[in-house]
Structure formats: C-alpha cells, structure tokens
Structure 1
Amino acid sequence: MAIKNKFPVAMGDVFPHGAFVVSEVEPVRDFDKSSPGRPVQQTDKETGLPVWSVSVLDADPEARRTDKTVTVKIAAPHQPVPPEAAAGLPFRPVEFDGLTVTPYVQETGGRPRVAYSFRAAGMRAPGHQRPAPGKNQDAA
C-alpha cells in the first residue's frame, strides 16, 4: 500500500476557512524516556529533530465543538515562533508547511471514532512565501 501511516495534505484541505494559533508553542514530552523531575523532549522518528506542539483553532463555522481546536506537532531544531497577531484579532492566523495527517481510532467513553494526528515541518503567517530549502523555517 502506498500510504503507510501518515500522508501529506494541503493546508486548505484541512483548514479551508483558515487556522489560528491559540496557545504557546511547547515541547512535547517523551513519556517513555522521561522520569519524575527529569522531563525528556520527544524527537521525531524520521528526522531526529525535537518535537513541539501548538494548539490551533479551526475557523470552519461548521466544525463540531470537539473538533474546533486541534494540536499540530512540529519537528524543528529550535522552538518555532508563531506569526504575529493580525490587527483587530485576538488570535494569530497561521499556515503550516509540510502538513501531514495520521488517522487513528480514539476510544473515549466506550465509543470508538476516527481521530487525526497532525504534524508539520513549519509554520508561517498566511500569504507569506515558504522559505527556500535550507533556510531556517522555524523563525518564518
């Protein structure tokens, strides 16, 4: 099968009405390697880079309440910097580069449902060009 466990998706397919950063960018804790008082940051299995997470609001007016806010994980050598807030908005509009999705079965409350895990190579302000390969994307 050509699709292993994650597959690339276009930003507009996942967030057709846009997305907004609603949290700080935080390191993802590796629960297997961490111990009490000694947290260890998770690393990406493919790149070996540290993994960071950010909460994102889906601007789709028809999104279900439980799907309104999602977490996007970003593999980057340094803590990614979210775009600046747009004038008059309380949130920061964002676009993700190299966005991938991994579907999985989530079992909560005895009712299994399909859920999605999102990962990205970087984030930037909407409308800004993606940096050329080899440039620092986490500060874009």
Structure 2
Amino acid sequence: MALQGPIPIGFEQVFPHGCYVVGEVEQVKDFEASTAGKFVPARDKSTGELVWQVAVMDADPSVKAAQKTVSVKILAPVQPVPPASMAGLPFTPVEFDGMTVTPYVHQATGRLAYSIRAREMRAPRAVGKPSVSAKDAA
C-alpha cells in the first residue's frame, strides 16, 4: 500500500473555518522513558525532533461543543511561539504548515480518532489579498 505512516494534509482540509489557540504550547512527555522523578521529552520516531502540543479550537460552527478543542502536535527543535494576539479577539487565530494526520483507534471508546501534527505554527495569511511576486511588482 502506498500510504504508510502519517498522511499529508492541508490546513484548509482540517480547519476549513480556521482555528484559534486556546492553550499553552507544552512539551510532550515520553511516557515510556519518563519516570516519577524524571521527565523525558517525546521525540518524533522518524525525524528525532522534539514534539510539542497546543490546544486549538475549531472555528467550524457545525462542530459539536465536545469536539471543538483538539490538540495539534508540532515537531520543532525549540518551543514554538504562537502568533501575537489580535486586538478585539478573545482567542488568537493560528494556521499550521506541513500538516499530517494519522488515524488510530481510540482505546477507551473503540472509535476512529486522528493524531494531527504540523511542522510550523504561524499567524493566518490575509484572506483575499493575492500575493505579489518580485517579478509582478517590477
């Protein structure tokens, strides 16, 4: 089968209405290597990079309240910094680049679930403004 491991996916496919940061960026714990007195950070199995996570709220109005907040894991050598907050908004809008999704069966419920990962977290791009290349600007 051609699909093995994380499946590449675009931000717009995961969050078509956008999403907002609603938690702190935290380092993910390697539960197998950590002990009661020793925190061992998780590393991505294929890249070896540190794994961080941030809670985000899906802006899709049709999503049920219990499913609005999801965790996005970010692979990065240092702690990612969320975009600056915007005046007048209670939450900070955010977008992710280099996203993948890994389906798995949730142990407690037996239902299909998804692990969402990204390579970068950034402020949303302006909507409706076409990008101008150096060639076009000349």
Using the alignment, how far apart are the partners of 1:54 and 1:87 within structure 2?
A: 21
CA RMSD of aligned residues (A): 1.2
Using the alignment, how far apart are the partners of 1:38 and 1:113 within structure 2?
A: 33
- Please say if 1:89 is aligned against 2:89: yes
Q: Which residue identity lines up with residue 5 of structure 1 in the other structure?
A: G
Deviation at 1:85, TM superposition (A): 1.2
Using the alignment, how far apart are the partners of 2:106 and 2:100 within structure 1?
A: 18
1:1-140 equivalent positions in 2, closer than 5 A: 1-108=1-108, 111-127=109-125
**TM-score (norm. length: structure 2):** 0.87
**TM-score (norm. length: structure 1):** 0.86
The DSSP-based 3-state class of the residue aligned with 2:13 is helix
The structure with the largest alpha-carbon Rg is 2
* Structure 2: gaps spanning 5 or more residues: 127-138
Q: Which residue identity lines up with residue 41 of structure 2 in the other structure?
A: Q
Deviations 1:99-123, CA, capped at 9 Å, x for gaps = 0001111143xx4211110000010
Using the alignment, how far apart are the partners of 2:104 and 2:64 within structure 1?
A: 18
The DSSP-based 3-state class of the residue aligned with 1:13 is helix
Deviations 1:62-91, CA, capped at 9 Å, x for gaps = 012232000001110100000011111111
Using the alignment, how far apart are the partners of 2:65 and 2:77 within structure 1?
A: 33
Using the alignment, how far apart are the partners of 1:107 and 1:76 within structure 2?
A: 28
* Structure 1: gaps spanning 5 or more residues: 129-140
Count of equivalent residues: 126
Moved over 4 A (4+): none
Deviation at 1:58, TM superposition (A): 0.3
